[in-house]
Amino acid sequence: MKTVGIIGGLGPETTAHFILRVLSLCFENNKIQRPNIVSINVPIPFKLEKEFINQSKGKTEFRKLLVQTAKTLEDAKVDFIVMPCNTAHVFIDDIRKSVNIPVLSIIDESVNILKNTENVGLLSTPATVKNKLFNNKLNLQKPIKSDQKELGIIINRILNNQQTENDRKKVLQIIKSFTSKNILLACTDLQLVIQDKQIGDKKIFDTMEILAQATVKEVMKGGDN
């Protein structure tokens, strides 16, 4: 199997869930051996993380940390790289240019799943919206301004393991406010409060699960290292 390199820590609990999901899916496909996984938690300062998620500030420092991590993974001889964080894909082109191995995109993989869907409710960080990561790729319905701001606050609490039941209730409320019946959890941390695949008449698409499936598909192709 190929060796996958993970740019992790965005946030740490989600990275752990992602690794466990990849291991589980690989076991479903291969009962002979476990996959080789190299994961590095990016040492993002808390202040920078919060400002980037909510205000899209600190891009230069954020980019530098992600590129350095990608190069370290390449030096570790991984076959390809994934990053289970939608917002960090603002820098996907910079990361791809910095290494000579493939870097899967959670954005592209999610778009491939939903490309024939008429309307998609988008749940993401304010930075993902501001940087238009899914614009011109999907027919989007976004939360109203006040809900988007609250969503950014909730995601920051999740990143710091401070989420509450009220946070889940608020996310559910936002989901129910969409007229779209297809909802994309375009922040991998949201799967920590929303594990449902269906909420009322809303079908939930989790980008973390989508990337995990794509990662396993690539892993199973077999590597050269």
What is the reported pLDDT for 118? 84
What is the reported pLDDT for 225? 47
Domains 4-106+210-219 and 107-206 share a fold: yes
What is the reported pLDDT for 224? 52
What is the reported pLDDT for 32? 80
| pLDDT(181) > 60 | yes
Q: Look at the domain 107-206 and name its fold.
A: Rossmann fold (3.40.50)
How far apart CA 50 and CA 87 sit, in angstroms, is 12
Averaged pLDDT score across all residues of the chain: 94
- What pLDDT, in 10s, does the model give residues 71-108? 999 999 999 999 999 999 999 999 999 999 999 999 99
Torsions phi, psi of 6, nearest 5?
-115, 125
| pLDDT(55) > 50 | yes
202-206/198-199 β-pairing: antiparallel
3-state secondary structure of 204: strand
What is the reported pLDDT for 30? 79
The DSSP H or E segment spanning 202 is strand 202-206
| pLDDT(223) > 70 | no
Q: Where do the domains of the chain lie?
A: 4-106+210-219, 107-206
**Assigned architecture for domain 4-106+210-219:** 3-Layer(aba) Sandwich (3.40)
- DSSP conformation letters of 41-84: E----HHHHHHHHHH---HHHHHHHHHHHHHHHHHTT-SEEE--
3-state secondary structure of 97: helix
How far apart CA 42 and CA 62 sit, in angstroms, is 10
What is the reported pLDDT for 200? 94
Cβ-contact 50, 157 below 8 angstroms: no
Q: What value does the mean pLDDT take over residues 177-198?
A: 96
| pLDDT(117) > 50 | yes
Nearest to 199 by CA among 103, 90, 123: 123
